Chain A
């Protein structure tokens, strides 16, 4: 990267004039080896690793809207691995490691910025759970420490140490915590995948999944029917609805998650800060805007509408944490749709239908797992259904066998 940059710097012409990001749309072929439903981060990452590591390029990504236009563009772009269970930490840790190298790998800047993530504890029981998370993280090679109020003050001098009369007692300081430009991640993967021969079909909606004798054999779309060797479903926000086309019922409930952003201000906040008790997380983007997010809405809904209730409660918490923010103006508000599972872990791997692979239940933890998820799903597809060890705990049948992977303590507004 630095050498190519230097080379371009010495050239007379603008280097990217003939550099096409994505090939022009083509007609759908009659048959593909792999059809990926959903052109978000996970879908294109799966296609990218299928092409790169396994040489499988007869792949079509079918996207109802446009590339990375769904929940890939609606999350708050937090990358971290300080989860609670060993299954979860191992998985997200590898994802964080992969994120670090993506800009170089794509030769495209994903604006990865490793700034650390700080979660505040306001009760003794939270500190206990933080201790456990610190130990689990350290064990798997992550950089996480439990820090005291003095260290917190030094890290974030503008933080109110007694928000809503709940004194900050300790902090979970996740040094590996980072942020990146979520659109760029999807674009980088899509570019890399299409350069290797994968077809990305935007504005192509899957209307039905063809299942014969318990085997998925093709999909019907608004642009015709396509037969295929296997199908990967990667549609955050509509997992249950797409799976129902293949006759699969899922242990998922879908909720909106609202977030908002203020006008830009001077840089004042380096780490990403969240409070476990106030259900609020705050971060300053590279542009200076402050992004707020919280937990999902209180009841299920397939709608990205905005509610005054949530704005009030979220902003009240944010202003408690950083009182000077009361003078700022909100610039934008949006919502994403989150497919929540009851144990706050994803559903990955095999489904009751043969040759139909699931990448679902990504609730509020989907963006941070994009690279590892793509890599694992590609492995699963290329091996013809041999589940990689890393994602075996996330199989859907864990719910039938009552062996959930409980990440409850590590998510829900502590992103």
Chain B
């Protein structure tokens, strides 16, 4: 069994975790072009190196970040997302409600 070190729960069996994709910056869906959005959603370098990716410990509902090599499958580091994201990210996923403004 492969073991992954969960930053919250310690070493656990890899089958308890779910892969969540590479950590990449989401473009603003309201202002970006279709190509930029397609690039974010579908395209990937998909190469052989150490990549930074999201993982989820499903038993405790906890998302974290791991650095893993895509050929050796070696997991070098796992850490809490707060190490990369230290302020709240606004996704701006829905348009602002249109309101009549009185002058």
Q: A residues engaging B (CB < 8 A)? A: 240-241, 244, 249-254, 298-303, 305, 307-309, 342, 399-402
Cβ contact within 8 Å between A253 and B45: no
B24 within 8 A of A: no
- Write out the residue numbers on chain A whose beta carbons fall within 8 Å of the beta carbon of B26: none
Cβ contact within 8 Å between B46 and A250: yes
Cβ contact within 8 Å between B47 and A241: yes
Contact of A251 among B14, B18, B43 (CB under 8 A): B43
- Write out the residue numbers on chain B whose beta carbons fall within 8 Å of the beta carbon of A303: 71-73
Cβ contact within 8 Å between A301 and B73: yes
Cβ contact within 8 Å between B34 and A249: no
- Write out the residue numbers on chain B whose beta carbons fall within 8 Å of the beta carbon of A241: 46-48
Contact of B71 among A299, A301, A342 (CB under 8 A): A301
Q: List 26 A-B contacts (CB under 8 A).
A: A240-B44, A240-B46, A241-B47, A249-B39, A250-B44, A251-B43, A251-B44, A252-B44, A252-B46, A254-B46, A254-B70, A298-B18, A298-B19, A300-B46, A300-B70, A301-B70, A301-B73, A302-B48, A302-B70, A302-B71, A303-B73, A305-B73, A309-B15, A399-B42, A401-B34, A402-B38
Contact of B34 among A254, A301, A400 (CB under 8 A): A400
- Write out the residue numbers on chain B whose beta carbons fall within 8 Å of the beta carbon of A252: 44, 46
Residues of B within 8 A of A (CB-CB), count? 21
B1 within 8 A of A: yes
B2 within 8 A of A: yes
- Write out the residue numbers on chain A whose beta carbons fall within 8 Å of the beta carbon of B48: 241, 302
- Write out the residue numbers on chain A whose beta carbons fall within 8 Å of the beta carbon of B38: 251, 399-400, 402
CA distance A253 to B19 in the complex (A): 13
- Write out the residue numbers on chain B whose beta carbons fall within 8 Å of the beta carbon of A342: 42
Contact of B45 among A240, A298, A299, A307 (CB under 8 A): A240
Minimum CB–CB distance from A256 to chain B (whole Å) comes to 9
Q: Which residue of B lies closest to A309 (CB)?
A: B15
In the complex, per-residue mask of B71-94: 1 if CB is within 8 Å of any chain A CB, else 0: 111000000000000000000000
Known: A240-B44, A307-B2. 12 other contacts (CB 8 A): A241-B47, A241-B48, A249-B39, A249-B43, A251-B42, A253-B44, A300-B70, A301-B70, A301-B73, A303-B72, A309-B2, A400-B38
